């Protein structure tokens, strides 16, 4: 299983950032799990029609944050997710980022239902 990445050329979001976001959200949805291999740097560069360095930069940042692991000469793989912290703290953080997210979405005129629809679709992929 691997992922398909699509760049939004009009969004103004840096390509490498879009790749990072795509990988991270794939991990969140379970689309990618520990041990899964990411597309090779060169292959993804070809697919997206961008420079390999840009893909490499995205992968490097993902590795620095511990989400993926790189094996030289072999490829890049999703790392073991280590989740810790006490439950209360986790709930608080989740509440906070959800709140900020809703705030941002509503400033664009989206409702909670719009959001739930969008997220649900990602689940069934």
33 makes contact, choosing from a second copy, DNA, none, with CB < 5 to 8 Å by partner type, with none
Residue nearer to DNA on the CB measure, 14 or 30: 14
Q: What's the residue count for the chain?
A: 125
Site string for DNA, 82-111 (x = CB under 7 A): ------------------------------
Q: Phi and psi of 79, rounded to 5°?
A: -80, 175
**Gyration radius from the chain CA atoms:** 16
Taking residue 22's Cβ as centre, other Cβ atoms within 10 Å add up to: 18
* Cβ-contact 40, 50 below 8 angstroms: no
Instruction: Map the footprint of DNA across residues 50-79, applying CB under 7 A.
Output: 50-51, 53-54, 56-57, 59-60, 63, 70-76
Q: Applying CB under 7 A, does 16 fall inside the site for DNA? A: yes
Closest CA to 82 of 97, 104, 67: 67
Q: Applying CB under 8 A, does 70 fall inside the site for a second copy? A: no
Q: Applying CB under 7 A, does 26 fall inside the site for DNA? A: no
């Amino acid at each position: 299983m691997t992922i398909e990445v699509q760049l939004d050329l009009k969004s103004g979001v840096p390509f490498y950032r879009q790749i990072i976001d795509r990988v991270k959200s794939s991990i969140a949805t379970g689309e990618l799990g520990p041990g899964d291999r990411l597309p090779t740097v060169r292959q993804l560069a070809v697919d997206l029609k961008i420079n390999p360095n840009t893909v490499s930069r995205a992968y490097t940042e993902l590795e620095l944050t511990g989400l993926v692991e790189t094996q030289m000469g072999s490829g890049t793989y999703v790392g073991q997710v280590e989740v810790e912290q006490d439950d209360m703290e986790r709930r608080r953080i989740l509440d906070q980022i959800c709140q900020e997210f809703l705030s941002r979405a509503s400033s664009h005129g989206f409702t909670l239902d719009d959001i739930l629809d969008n997220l649900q679709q990602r689940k069934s992929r």
